[in-house]
Structure 1
Amino acid sequence: MKVGDIGNYHIERVTLQGEGVARPEGKVMFIPACLPGEDVQAKATQVKKNYSRGELKTVVTPAKGRVQAPCPVFGACGGCQLQMMDYPLQLSVKEEGVKDGLHRLGRIKDAPVGPVVGTDHPWRYRNRVQMHLQRRNDGSLGMGYFRYNSRELIEHDDCPLLPESFPPVLKAVRSSIQDINREGELPLRHLVLKSADPSGEMMIIFVLSEWRSPYRSKMKSLASQLMDSEKKLVSVYVNINPKEEGEVLGREYPLYFGKNRLEEKMAGGLRLQIGPASFLQVNPRQTEELYRLTAEACSLTGQETVIDAYCGVGSISLYLAKQCKKVVGIEEVEMAVEDANQNAALNGIENAEFVAGKVEDVLPAYLKEGNPVDVVVLDPPRKGCHERVLEVIADAQPSRIVYVSCDPASLARDASRLVERGWQIEQAIPVDMFPQTGHVETVCLFSK
């Protein structure tokens, strides 16, 4: 096989990235937008020693579960991977993806995975979106998403994963930034739009590559124009991030207009103040299921001390606080820790303590002082846990570890490290927080 060759292939399975896996001549070939069991025609686009990649040309024999993707930029935009599948098939692929990760990457056979927890609302569920701003050839600003694995801008305002309140705001932003920034003075790079449930109030964060005092008047004019036209938009922040790669948001917020926080009402009656740096799950309906499963896995009796590592604004900590003796949350982002303390006070919760710092630094020091720990909850970012964190937790011998994962690959790696230290997986329940995409959360319970 060489690049450009067109052939017929049988799809054995599908990855979480929505790529069909065929095995021509015994070598793996990845073909996007395929379903398991289909026969397809594809053109080879990349040929390596151990694998190849192809471009789907024709579905020769469609499989049950194939549907027409409703989004006009599906396949170009890098946000969704599974819109060509009906929802039951998406759930099946995600469950198999978690099993495959634990078995193939984690070398853990027969892990008790599933069944996956789905949703009745697989569209219009996101409470947050980030978009990129890029200078066009004519000097105007384009706004949209990046094509998968590239920095090519795909301009589209009405993503079907966003609530219906978002597209009008995004269209207003698209128009306003052209008027405000005709001379190209503002170094706009990204924007983040988030909303609070159930009020529907919204916050926009404009990300600039640098900050100078002359920008203040233009940002004030932009914020006023948007908040006057969109009544649910009550907060506009400026964020500074000079880095072109990596995280969208930087650590500096030199200016804001309107409210400095939104208020989210969550499962269990929790009220949370949401700032620009606050991380919350993007699917409010499924968050309730995720937290319920986390609490069930913790099996709290009211006598335990719980460590909540990578706690963010303290949402899981505060959800568990009423069920345990004490909860200690650890979070690297100082602004999020400030939010967590405010949220504890807002909800009248006095048995929650929050510590700012890297988990791999704070947790070993905390345990070395002889502080008790009965249950550990881990909710790390996509890259997973620092190995030192797993070492000290394993040595501390809590009664159980509850790992809330957003990436099957890092979960598999970290699970393997815990198994090597004498722990075992009691259960792993996938939760579909992100329908139409290849992302999946998993609540994984470990016992000694």
Structure 2
Amino acid sequence: MRQKQLWLADKLSPWADALAPLRGVTGSERLHYRDKACLSADWQDGRWLLGLRKRDEIIDIPACPVQSHRVNQVARLLRAHLPAKARFPLAYLAQSGAQTTLVLKTASQPSLDWLTPSLSAEFERTGVEGLWIHLFPSTGKRVFAKNHWYLVWGRARSEDRLGLIHGPAAFSQLLPGLYRQALDQAQAFLAPSANDGVIDLYCGHGSTLQRWRKTGARALGVEVAAEALKCAERNAPGADLLRGTCEHRVPQLRAWRKAASPVASDQPGRRLLYVNPPRTGLEPGVRTWIIDEDRPHRMAYLSCSAGTLSRDLQQLCEAGYRVEALTPYDFFPFTHHVETLALLRRIN
């Protein structure tokens, strides 16, 4: 945790006065928290290995101390019951909460005669609610494709510890209590109300959209994953949703802002923005739209890369924004990953 704080202090040094101490969890909460995992698979010496791929080698992880007990138990069952690779070309085991996906490097559906009623009952005892087969002959650096998902047992949707509906490829933060703190901080700063319009970029399955809608604010979410948007429809009723990359949806963002702004009002709403981009940070076209056109009154930016966050903050500050707070969150204990919530206010 100290290494993470020093790393952030270096990468975010222009805003040192705004950088808060790293928030994290303690004790047993730092163990067995990863209920979302993607394990590489390979068949060697007559047995399945499930773990981390390092170049051409699979490092088997039979009982990882940061993976949830459910993930470890599912991996144990698969090691014991899956047929050999020649019959079942498994490339990845992907666990997302109560949803399990077996990614196969083939275009043909293999036999599922190994999935007996007794094995299904064992999966159920681990807390698995849905078991999927995903056929993707080109799987490798890209784990998932858009099509060829088959639910072979159980149900297609589950509810996470925040009460949100999710599917087999959903991403959600792994420490719900700590994540709730970050959402509380972002909401308190943005303070959306019924007159405001909140644009939520990279919105996922709607955990933040749900919050904005509960305040009565108008909300628009943009997400590239179709499955995530289907869940967002259920998690954030009344939110407007767009599928695609945020950069490609700038024309629709512009039109939504125009339509959502009352022509005449005694209390015109504020433009608010929440973003949670991937490690690459904001797309160039999105940065340009924020700086040159939208110019939201307040902005909350949850970043998983201090490097790209620093780049984006520099440009936003040059365009008339002030960084009010930088709060790091240790969402991934015992790894080098750290996320930072940046709160920005427009000053001119």
Q: Aligned residue for 1:436?
A: 334
Q: Aligned residue for 1:99?
A: 9
CA 1:281 to 1:95, structure 2 compared with 1: closer, same or farther past 3 Å? same
Q: Aligned residue for 1:188?
A: 90
Matches within 5 A, 1:222-301: 222=115, 224=117, 226-230=119-123, 231=125, 232-256=127-151, 257-266=153-162, 271-301=163-193
State whether structure 2 residue 16 is matched by structure 1 residue 110: yes
For structure 2, the residue ranges without an aligned partner over 5 or more in a row are 262-269
CA 1:225 to 1:385, structure 2 compared with 1: closer, same or farther past 3 Å? farther
Q: Aligned residue for 1:63?
A: none
Q: Aligned residue for 1:35?
A: none
- The partner residue of 2:228 within 309, 323, 336 is 336
Aligned partners of 1:313 and 1:339 also within 8 Å: yes
- The partner residue of 1:146 within 35, 43, 53 is 53
Write out per-residue CA displacement over residues 265-324 of structure 1, whole angstroms, 9 at most, x where no aligned residue: 41xxxx321111222112222221121122122122442110000001111110222124
Q: Give distance in 1, aligned partners of 2:116 and 2:99.
A: 11
Q: Give distance in 1, aligned partners of 2:286 and 2:99.
A: 34
State whether structure 2 residue 289 is matched by structure 1 residue 392: yes
The structure whose RCO (Cα within 8 Å, separation 6+) is larger is 2
Q: Aligned residue for 2:69?
A: 164
Q: Give distance in 2, aligned partners of 1:169 and 1:111.
A: 46
Q: Aligned residue for 1:362?
A: 249
Q: Give distance in 1, aligned partners of 2:119 and 2:327.
A: 42
**More helix by proportion, 1 or 2?**
2
- The partner residue of 1:378 within 268, 275, 278 is 275
Q: Helix, strand or coil for the counterpart of 2:101? A: strand
Moved over 6 A (4+): none
Write out per-residue CA displacement over residues 34-89 of structure 1, whole angstroms, 9 at most, x where no aligned residue: xxxxxxxxxxxxxxxxxxxxxxxxxxxxxxxxxxxxxxxxxxxxxxxxxxxxxxxx
**Whose radius of gyration is greater, 1 or 2?**
1
Matches within 5 A, 1:10-25: none
Report how many residues are paired: 330
Q: Aligned residue for 2:266?
A: none
Give the TM-score normalised by the residue count of structure 2.
0.88
Give the TM-score normalised by the residue count of structure 1.
0.69
1:365 Cα deviation from its structure 2 partner: 3.0
Q: Aligned residue for 2:105?
A: 209
